[in-house]
A = this chain, B = another copy of it.
Amino acid sequence: MELVHAIQNHCNCPIEATLNVIGGKWKPMILCLLANDTLRYNRIQQLIPEVSPKMLTKQLRELEGDGLISRKMYPEIPPKVEYSITDLGRTVLPVLKTLLEWGAEYLGKKCIATIQVNADN
């Protein structure tokens, strides 16, 4: 019931705010990738072949702007840029897990049953 008011008041509804932060098409994927490793731009692109450079840059910038990931640039030639998850970004992982579990259970999406380090491309 309070939930209703939270939204009705419409004072920056936290649900919408959260969705704005993690709802981007590639953001959950990026966050999960960075949860384990610090990765360079091209490496991310390899791991997500479907994303175009423009979109990848956009999603990374937004995640950085929201403080979920950090971008470290090494002034070298050739350039080197490393993306990693921040402490704030780590706090969102349980939220993603919730989304994953609901989707898996109620939408019948599998592919999470035996997820050890066995899966490979």
Contacts and interface: CB of A to CB of B under 8 A. Distances in A.
Interface stretch (A4-12, A54-62, A75-83): A4-12
Interface residues of A, number: 59
Total copies of this chain within the assembly = 2
Contact of A110 (B11, B33, B102): B11
A110 B92 CA distance: 18
A13 interface: yes
Contacts of A121: 8
A109 B12 contact: yes
A9 B121 CA distance: 7
Nearest to A98: B98
Given A15-B103, A91-B106, A36 B113 contact: no
